[in-house]
Amino acid sequence: MRLKPGSLPFTILLGALTAMTAFATDMSLPALPSLTRSFATSPERVQLTLSLFIFGYSGGQLFYGPLSDRFGRRPMLLAGLAIYTLSGLACAWAPSIEVLIAARLIQGLGGCVGPILGRAIVRDHYSGVHAAQMLSYVTLVFALAPMVAPLLGGALLDLFGWRSIFLAFGGFGLLLLIVTWFAFAESLSVPDARALELTRLIAKGRRFFSNRHCVGYMLINSFIFAGLFAYISGSPFVFIGIYGVPAGRFGFYFALSALGIVLGALVNGRLIRRRPPERVLRVGLRLLAAAGVVMLLVAVSGWGRPIWFTLAMLAYVFAQGLCMPNAIAAAMEPLPDMAGMGASFLGAVQMLGGSLAGYAVNALYDGTPLPMAAMIAAMAMAALLSYYLAAPGISHAGDPATP
């Protein structure tokens, strides 16, 4: 029995596919110290299991989109899920840190298939408001991963050891593989037989990056994600190292922030039934910028309680839930015939921005929360400016009813 597009099981499947990467990163975080002891190696070497996973994830995005435009979404989903599953099992039985690092790299190459093709599948079935609404509900399912993954990873680590975490990745991938095999029907109606020709790839890239609409909304999405990644990278140092939050309680603050994405996506899905997504996006971007400024003021003023950072970040990620589904839908709207490749561009630029922001926060860390807060505020303002300078939209001014 095939899942019907728009049904609750279909939405849950797309959300689970999108959450693959979040599970594979956030769930493994509690195991990093154990890996250092188990393999008698350095923390820097163990950190490669995370950074090379992200590297594989980033690079693989550029391939799945064009391949899915040529061969269809379903075959590429099955291929990526098989890679993700097998590499997860390889991680679980890795005899050395070198094998684990290599397996994680391959797992990243497989794991990126879900987030990338999930967006393409939504564009295959929907456009305009319906696409933005569907992406909101997919984001709602996806946002649950950062809330439960660290807690689940910690529980598995305490009960069964670090290998059980990677075994869970393999089991999760296998479950998605089985559901996709039996329940997912191909969403691409007409595959492009010339999608992989070099001249065609170059032409599609030129079409996308010369389209002001696509690039503007792509930048909005990327800057918002970069601000989130700056928080993910810097928050352990700020909360634990500066504010003295016990490591066991850090997950609470992290989960509270993730709750904001859930609320934002839920509110967005309801709002765009009655309001144009463009208007909701504008409101979200202004709230995003305000939250970034508040976080910067907290850092500069020296207010010494982590709850103020958490509340500001809660507002930021709530605004993210209002913005990103609408920005992604708008970026992919003009070019429906190359949804796969468009999703690849969106994902690759998003991850590039996030990686650079995370690296900058760690490189500039000075024992204060200022570098993290400044980066988040800068990314929020950049997203807002990108909207007014680059994204055409329906109207930026002169509409008295516009929020």
pLDDT of 395: 41
Mention every residue, 6+ apart, whose C-beta is less than 8 A from residue 279. Answer: 402, 403
Question: Any idea what the CATH number is for the domain that residue 2 is in?
Answer: 1.20.1250.20
Report how far residue 380's alpha carbon sits from residue 316's, in angstroms, rounded to the nearest whole number.
Answer: 9
Q: Please indicate, yes or no, whether residues 221 and 159 belong to a single structural domain of this protein.
A: no
Last residue of a domain, one of 153, 183, 213: 183
Distance (Å, whole) CA 322 – CA 301:
29
What's the helix, strand, coil split of the chain in %, to 5?
80, 0, 20
Is 79 within the bounds of a domain?
Answer: yes
Give 11's contacts (C-beta < 8 A, 6+ positions apart).
134, 137, 138, 141
111 in Cβ contact with 57 (< 8 Å): yes
* Cβ-Cβ contacts under 8 Å for 53 (sequence gap 6 or more): 24, 25, 104, 105, 107, 108, 111
Quick check: is 271 in a domain?
Answer: yes
Q: What is the pLDDT of residue 181?
A: 93
Closest alpha carbon to 87 in 118, 117, 115, 113: 113
The Cα–Cα gap between 47 and 32 comes to 7
Cα-Cα-Cα-Cα dihedral sign, residues 176, 179, 180, 186: negative
- Which residues of the chain have a pLDDT value below 50? 393-403
φ/ψ (deg, to 5) at 191: -60, 150
Domain stop point among 124, 153, 183: 183
Same domain, 63 and 157: yes
Residue 210 domain flag: yes
HEC profile for 177-212? HHHHHHHCCCCCCCCCCCCCCHHHHHHHHHHHHCCH
Residue 194 domain flag? no
List b or e across 290-299, with b for residues whose CB sees 16 or more CB atoms inside 10 angstroms: bbbbbbbebb
The pLDDT tens digits for 317-342 are 899 988 988 888 888 888 777 777 88
Cβ-in-10-Å burial (0-12, 13-18, 19+) of 367 comes to exposed
- pLDDT of 399 reads 39
* Mean residue pLDDT across the chain: 83
The model carries a pTM of 0.76
Which residue among 151, 183, 215 closes a domain?
A: 183
Residue-number span of the structural domain to which 110 is assigned: 1-183
Q: Are residues 155 and 14 in the same domain?
A: yes
Residue 126 counted as domain residue:
yes
Spatial separation of the C-alpha atoms in residues 337 and 339, rounded to whole Å: 6
pLDDT in tens, 343-384: 888 888 887 888 788 778 877 878 888 888 999 999 999 999
Q: What does the pLDDT read at residue 42?
A: 80
Question: Are 227 and 128 in a shared domain?
Answer: no
Burial of 159 (0-12, 13-18, 19+ CB in 10 A): exposed
Please check whether residue 360 lies inside any domain of the structure: yes
> In which element (H, E) is residue 301 found?
helix 277-301
> Any idea which residue has 């890996």 for tokens?
35
Residues 375 and 336 in one domain: yes
User: Do 169 and 221 reside in the same domain of the chain?
Assistant: no
| 148 inside domain | yes
**Do 178 and 211 sit in the same domain of this protein?**
no
Residues 122 and 225 in one domain: no
Residue 298: both structure tokens together: 């907290």
Tell me how many domains the chain contains. Answer: 2
Q: pLDDT exceeding 90 applies to what percent of the chain?
A: 24
Tokens of 97: 């840190």
Regarding whether 119 and 83 lie in a shared domain, the answer is yes
Query: Does residue 91 lie within any of the structural domains?
Result: yes
Q: How far apart are CA 201 and CA 198, in angstroms?
A: 5
Task: Indicate whether 111 and 179 sit together in one domain.
Answer: yes
**Statement to judge: residues 248 and 368 lie in one domain:** yes
| Secondary structure letter of residue 1 according to DSSP | -
Q: Are residues 160 and 218 in the same domain?
A: no
